[in-house]
Every structure is written in C-alpha cells, then in structure tokens.
Amino acid sequence: MNFINPAAFWALLTIGIIVLLYFLKLKRQKKVISNLFLFNRMLVDQKANRPFQKLRRNLLLLIQILFLLLSIMGLSRPTFIKNIFSNYNYIILIDSSASMMATDDGESRFERAKERATEIISNFAESDMAMIISADTKTYIRAPLSRDKRALKKNIDTLEPTETPTNLYDAFTVIMSALKQKKIDKIYVISDGANVGLEQLAEERNITKDNFPEVEFISIGKGSDNVGIVDLDINATGNNRENLQVFARIVNFSNEPKTTDVELYNGDDLIDIKEITIPAQENYPVIFDDARLEQGLITMKLSIDDKLEVDNTAYAYMKKPESIQVLMVTKKNMFLENALRVNPVVSLTKMNPFSYDEKSDYSSYDVIIFDSFFPNVTPKTNILLINSEAAPLNILKRVSADGKTAREELPNIIDYDKTHPIMKYINFENTVIAKSTYFSTPGWMQKIVEAEDSTLIYAGEKLGRRVILISFDLTESDFILKSSFPMFIYNSMIWLSDHFDKKSSSYSRTGDSIRRKVYEQDIIEVTTPESDVIEVKVFNDEFFFDNTKWVGLYTTKGADGFEDFFIANLLSEKESDITPSPFIKIGGKKIKPTSKISVRKELWKYFVIFAIIFIIIEWWVYHRKVFY
Amino acid sequence: MKHKILDPGFIKRLERLSLLSKKIFAGKVQSLRRSTHKGNSAEFADYRSYELGDDLRYIDWNIYARLEKLLIKLFVAEEELSLYIIIDNSKSMCCPDDEKFIYAKKIAAALSYISLANLDRVGISAFSNKLDVHVMPSRGRKHFFTCVHYIESMEEDGGTSINKALFEFAKIMKRPGVVLLISDFFDPEGYESGLSFLQYKKFDVNIVQVFNPIERDMTLQGDLRLTDVETNEFIDVTVTEKLTKMYHDEFGALSSELEAFCMKRGITHLSAPTDYHFEDLILKYFKVKKMVKS
C-alpha cells in the first residue's frame, strides 16, 4: 500500500485534540430531583417564546450538518480561482543550465526551481494537465502532458542541472511544436532569467501575445556574487613557437571587488599561482608567461568561494609545440623542397629513394613524403604520397585492360572540398595537370579534389595515422607554380602531424556535440568527468557524442587499444553572470517575474479549521445546554 | 422507615377539632353530624302523620291537643361522615428527602384522628401509578390505630398518576364523602379530570399540596445532570441565576394553576410547604381554610 500524501499522517496529531476533549468533557454533578416536568414545561415556554425555534430545536443537528458540509467542502478542495473544471494544459519549463547550480542562502537555484514546479503542480485542479520540459543547451521533454500529479512530481524530483549554457530558444521551439498538437493555456518559465534568443524566436515565428499562451515567469535566485573564468587559451609564442602562454579572462559579476587566487595546474602539479583583485563588474585578463608546461591536462582554478562553482575551473589539453619532423623521399623535387623549407615548423630531412631502407624505423618522423616512390612496407607514421606507383593501406591502383596503370589525361577539376583543413586558403581552379592515376580507395579516404573521372587528392585517417594521396606528378602540373602550393604543403604538414590540434589548447564547450572520425571501430566508450561510462555507436567511421553536460576531461576508448579524449568547458560569460534577469521578453511583451505563483490557492485547510471549530461548538452545545 | 407521626400532646389538641364538610351527606349510622336523613337529634326538622309502629315519644302532643291530629316530630338526623384520605406515595414524595412524605403522613394522621374522634368514618388510600385502597372506611377510635399503622408503614414507590388514581377511587368508593387528596401534584398528565370526576361523583374534594421549599426555590447550582426520580429521565443543565428564576416562576405557575382550578371548581386547596409549622397548619391554617372547626 502506498500513500499519495503521507504528510497527511501529521493529522494524526489531532487525536490529541480528541483526547483533550475527552479529558475536558464536562463532569456534571448528578442530582436526582422529584420532577423534570417543570423543566420540560419551562423548555416548552422558552422555545415558544424564542424566534427560529425550529432551528434551535435542531441546533445540534444543524451544527453537525455544518461540520459535515465543511468536511465535504474541504475534501472537494475548493480554490479561489473559478476555473476548477477548466481542463487547463500547462507547460512547466525548468531552466537546468549551469547558472541554476548557483546557491542562494545555501540552497541551489535548481532545487528552488524544482520546489516551485512541485508547488505549481500541487495547486493544479484534478482536470489540469502539465508537461515538464527542462532546458539547458538542449531541451528535454521530461514528461508529456499528464494529469498524474504524482508522476509529474516524481519526474521533477529526478531532474538534475547540467554545467551547460542556457538555450531557451530551442526550448521555446519545442514548445511551439507542442502548441500545434495540443491546446496549451499557460507556460510557466522557471529560470534565473537567461533570455537567450527569445526575442529572435518571437520575430522568427511571429509570436504575439494573442497567438501565444500566457507566459508566467518565475524568477529564481538573487544576487550576482560570482567570479568566473570566461575565456581560456594557450598559445605558442616565439619564432619557433617553443614557448607557451596561457591566457584567461576572468570576470567579476558581483557589485564589489573580489580577490582570488588563480591556480594553474599541469596534470596534478601546481605550476603557477597568481593573486588578482577584480573590480566590481569588470573583466580581468590573466596571462601566465613562460609556463613550464608539459604535454597533458592543463587546469585553471579560482580559489574564490562564490555562488557558482562550476565556472571556477577550466581545462585544456596541451602539447608542447615542436617542429614537425618531415622525411622527404624523392629523387628530386625542388618545388616541393622549397615549399617545405619555407615552413618554419618543418624540420626537413631529404632522402633519395635508393637510400630508403625499408627495415629501418622511421616512426620518429611526424610525416614521410613519398614522391613518385613507395616502399613495400608501409612505415608507421603519417604519409604524404605523391604520384605513387605502389598502393599502401588498401589503396588500390586501378589497372587498365592492357595491364598498365589506368590514368586520366588532362583531368578536368570539377570539385574540391574547401572545408578540409588541407584546403584552407587553396584555390585549385584553372590548375592544369598532365595526367592522374585512378585509385580505388577504402572508405576512410576522403576525396578532396575531384576530376571528372579520377580523384586528384585524397586525405584520410586510420588508427591515428593520417594519409594524403596526390594522384598526379607535381612536376607535370602547374600547381607547383601557383601561390597556393606552399600553402597546400603547409596545410598538409600541419594536418598530417595533427600539429595544431595538439600543439596548444583544445577544448569544446559544454553542451556542444562532439563529432570525431574513428576508423575500424564499432563502439566507443566515453568516460565523462562524472566517471559515467557511455557507449556510443560508430556510424560511417564517425562517432557523435552530445552528452557533454559536465565540465572536464572526457576519455574515449575503443578496440585495438584506441584511446583519445576531449575536453568540455563552460566558458560562458552569459552563464557565469548569475544576476537574475528582471524580465523575459516574448511576443513584444516584457514579462516580469511573479513574486507569487498565481496558481489555485486551495481552501481546504480553512474548511478543515472551520469544521474543527464547529465540532468543538457542537461539543460545547451538547454538554452545556446553552439554550438555558 | 416508620416514624412517630403524632405526639400525644398534639393528639389531645386535635380532639377539640372536627371535620367540616361543605356538603351534607346521607350516612348510614347515626353520628354527631347532620344528615340528609331525618333523625332524632335535638334539631327539629319537620312533622309527619303518625303511622303504626312509630315511637310514641316523638308524637307532638301539643299539636294533637290543638288540632287533634297525631303528628310525629321529625328531627335532623346526626350521622357519621366518611373521610377518604388519599396520599400520594410516588417516589417524588421522598425527593430530595422524605420530609415531604412525612409531612403528608402527619396531615393524614391528624385528619384521621379528628374525623374518628367525631365518630366519622375514615378510609385511607395511597396512590402512585395505581391506587391502593388499604384502609376501608371505618369508625371508632380503635380504627385510628389501623390508620396510623398503615400511614406509618406506607412507603414510596412508582410514578405519579393522579387522574388514574382518582378515577379508580371513584369507582371503588360508591358512597360519597369528604376526599382529602395529599400530593405534590408533580404529574405531567395533570389532575383536572380526576378531581372533576370526584366532584361529579358527589365527593367533597379537598386537596393539600405538599412541597419542600427546596423544590420551590431551586437551590441547586452549576453544571448538573438532573434525573427524574420517578422516570429516571435526565437532562443536562447548567443552572444559572436566570434559570433559577425561571424555575421559580414555573413552580409558582404550577401552584397558581392548581389554586385557580380549585377555586373555580369549589375545591378547597391547601398549600403545605414542609417548613410550615405542622401544628399551625392543622390548628390554624386548616381552620382558616374551613377544613376543620373547633
């Protein structure tokens, strides 16, 4: 057996009242008298001489009926609002973003929001229905329209805030969809008031106060006592980019100056610490120069005790910038060599194909360029293949009917992927190429520059190894003469060595979706900063992870020892500004927060109180015979 | 419990009294009272013609000398009177104490003695819910002891039903006489029809309303559960000054109604609060009310 309202057991205390009444029961002195008929005659006279005698005669009955009426009224749960049988449909939108984790008076804003939501549901009429939506960066319909108050409350109870920014725009987009399906009479927005994008939404969807349900804004939180990290960057400096500079922007959102220590950790080691004082409502840039950083996790922490803790920490992953070790295996390619030498981050080693020893270990090189040559054994590093006669890594050269390599003469370039990193700032139009080789490539090789029949440039990554394949002889094209060529080589070296990604800071924002290429993997296990392990299926050599709710390091693991990571930071100035918004604006209407929820105020308590009063009067009348 | 009802000194004083009746009844036995029969008392009543067998002593010889007719002198016959004492022995007579009942018994005893001393017949009945005719009318001083014995042994029992008792009484007692009804008259069903029926049956009805001053004045106070001694019904009351006054008025109304009824019907009504000095009641009050005479 379960109880919908176990709090009702507190009413058991009223047993005490009954016991008290029992003890207070009038102890009448018993007297035997010679006659009662004089008293009875007297009563008849009394009653005859008083008005409303019919009522008086049944005073006890009347009081008992009144008691019963009040009790029944109490049970019917009357309210002040007239639409008791209104069948109202409500949407309760609860902001679950990071700012709702701020604590006011020891209680988190999100807990307050849940309490208010529960309060709203408690005051609904039995015929009302409510939908629960929580919104942070993403919008979740937690409970569809239901009149099961118990289930709705339970649902609210299970809600948790996330460390992601607010996106009420999406939430209202979902609400707009709900409006098309169901009549919604009122929307409660329980938030600390980040009105991100609502005006834009109103404009896009032509929302006016006439075509949109009533919105009631329940503002949660008070004060703005927060200092947060809103930017974090790690840059390489110096000619050879050998130095690191950690930059952070810290904002004091409160109305008084704040002093805090900014601590910089590399892994678990405290590297540097700075004490800063930030004036009220001001930015403060913090720079750590010459930090002796090693590859690994960089953590910046503020030691301040403020209302919002999540923005006091930010993470980045750092790889100390090093020069890209490139081995160029070619008979002679002056243009390619020059293009490599102008790149300050490239450390070039040149080798003749005859000198290339297949048995040697060349894995210390970040990139090996095979120009018109390819060894029988594929080296375990990143490769740039130019006009290769051999085909490594399941790249198959297509052979024509006569047994010769199939080639396309003067291939006409029809498309190239400008978005790929190696094509950054590259113009491939009007490039003349003598001939290109046909290849059959595995799925992980992406076509970058395509001719009518053949593909001129491929790029792909497998098991951490990146490969670029150029299917034509550079020396038989005018590409090497173009200004794009050094840039293409630069881009290729950077991409192949994964230089930018690892050389300095790299992170995403909480709430962002992470999309990563992985090869020969079916399932990736993502371990969140909260140590939850989430399995993600890989489709088309890509996994998609959108559960970046928490700030911190997410590690990914796959088959064959595959291991990677990514980082999510809040770094949101809007989210760190926890000052409750004075209003939200939708449909051209400013909605100010309601101090008191305009829900049905139930009156049953008062009826119960009156019922108790009447039962006491009944007791008194019964025992005292006050009509004398 | 038996009581010594009358003390000898008081009995002596009673000997000087005799019962008064508003009516002249035709008795069977010659007594010291006028009768509707012509008798041989000293008081002349009429003449009639001499018939054989008449006592020659009652021939008026003077008439015979004058008119030469034998006329017999007729005198007012002095016959005995029947006094029927009916005592209420319901439980209310012993509530709040037995003072009321004793008082009633004393009245009954005193009136019995007065009547018997005047050669009247005295019968005593008691009633509560029903009538109990215990002492049939009889005469002679010895009868007094029978009466007193019965009076003393009388105990309270049951409720009050005056009308019923009087109807029964009238059926049993065919011979009219003086009825002395002693009761507190606390009968919700009333008394009117019973008393009227007695009058219809030619009884000279006299009533004595006995009450305890406590009953009149309502000395009880506070939150009470009052139980009727006869019916065991109860009511819960909170006795206030207002209630006391109302009760007092109600009691007064009851007495007034009884008195008014009696006056209207020619019934002698005597009010006998138990705090009234008993000898004064008999020797003075009864005299004033012409129940007895010296």
Looking at this predicted complex, what is its ipTM? 0.77
Task: Mean pLDDT check: name the lowest of A186-195, A587-596, A600-609, B28-37.
Answer: B28-37
- Residue A346: partners with Cβ closer than 8 Å, 6 or more residues away: A323, A324, A326, A340, A493
Q: What percent of chain A has pLDDT over 90?
A: 15
- From CA B57, how far away is CA B72, in angstroms rounded? 9
pLDDT confidence bin for A533, thresholds 50/70/90: very high
Residue type, A418: K
Question: Least CB-CB distance to B92: which of A27, A34, A625?
Answer: A34
Q: Which CATH class is domain A227-321?
A: mainly beta
**Considering the domain A324-501 in this protein, what is its CATH number?**
3.40.50.880
- pLDDT computed for residue A399 by the predictor: 61
Superfamily of domain B8-24+81-293: von Willebrand factor, type A domain (3.40.50.410)
**Of A495 and B38, more confident:** A495
Contacts of B223 in chain A (CB under 8 A): 26-29, 624
Beta strands in A279-426 (DSSP E): 282-289, 296-302, 313-318, 324-329, 346-351, 367-371, 382-386, 396-397, 407-409, 413-416
CA distance A51 to chain B (A): 18
Beta bridge partners of A228: A251
CA distance B226 to chain A (A): 5
Contact between residue A573 and residue A314 where contact means Cβ atoms under 8 Å apart:
no
Contact between residue A86 and residue A128 where contact means Cβ atoms under 8 Å apart:
yes
Please state, rounded to an integer, the average pLDDT across all residues of chain B.
82
Beta strands in A222-379 (DSSP E): 227-237, 243-252, 258-266, 269-278, 282-289, 296-302, 313-318, 324-329, 346-351, 367-371
Question: Least CB-CB distance to A42: which of B92, B188, B247?
Answer: B247
- From CA A452, how far away is CA A40, in angstroms rounded? 121
CA-atom Rg of chain A in angstroms: 38
Question: Least CB-CB distance to A42: which of B220, B240, B250?
Answer: B250
CB within 8 Å: A33 and B96: yes
Q: Does B214 touch chain A (CB under 8 A)?
A: no
Give per-residue pLDDT as tens, A37-52.
888 877 776 655 555 5
What residue spans define the domains of chain B? Answer: 8-24+81-293, 30-79
Question: Least CB-CB distance to A42: which of B236, B240, B246?
Answer: B246
Residue A291 token pair:
């930090």
- From CA A342, how far away is CA A485, in angstroms rounded? 12
CB within 8 Å: B188 and A40: yes
Tokens 């008195």, residue located: B259
Q: Which of B237, B244, B274 best probes binding to A when mutated, by most A CB atoms within 10 angstroms?
A: B237
Contact between residue A358 and residue A377 where contact means Cβ atoms under 8 Å apart:
yes
pLDDT over 70 at A136, yes or no: yes
pLDDT over 50 at A626, yes or no: no
CB within 8 Å: A42 and B227: no
pLDDT confidence bin for A502, thresholds 50/70/90: very low
Contacts of A60 in chain B (CB under 8 A): none
- pLDDT computed for residue B130 by the predictor: 85
CB within 8 Å: A628 and B223: no
Q: Which of B160, B219, B226, B258 best probes binding to A when mutated, by most A CB atoms within 10 angstroms?
A: B226
Answer whether CATH 3.40.50.410 is correct for domain A89-222+582-602: yes
Q: Does B220 touch chain A (CB under 8 A)?
A: yes
Give per-residue pLDDT as tens, B57-91.
778 888 888 888 888 776 544 556 788 999 999 99
CB within 8 Å: A29 and B247: no
CA distance B156 to chain A (A): 12
CA distance B225 to chain A (A): 5
pLDDT confidence bin for A275, thresholds 50/70/90: very high
- Alpha-carbon dihedral sign for residues A385, A387, A388, A392: positive
Contact between residue B16 and residue B39 where contact means Cβ atoms under 8 Å apart:
no
Contacts of A37 in chain B (CB under 8 A): 186-188, 228
Average pLDDT (B148-163) is 89
pLDDT over 60 at B42, yes or no: no
Residue B82 token pair:
């029947």
pLDDT confidence bin for A303, thresholds 50/70/90: very high
Please state, rounded to an integer, the average pLDDT across all residues of chain A.
80
Beta bridge partners of A143: A132
Instruction: Show which residues on chain A lie within 8 Å of chain B, measured between beta carbons.
Output: 26-42, 45-46, 623-626, 628
CA nearest A84: which of A31, A124, A119?
A124
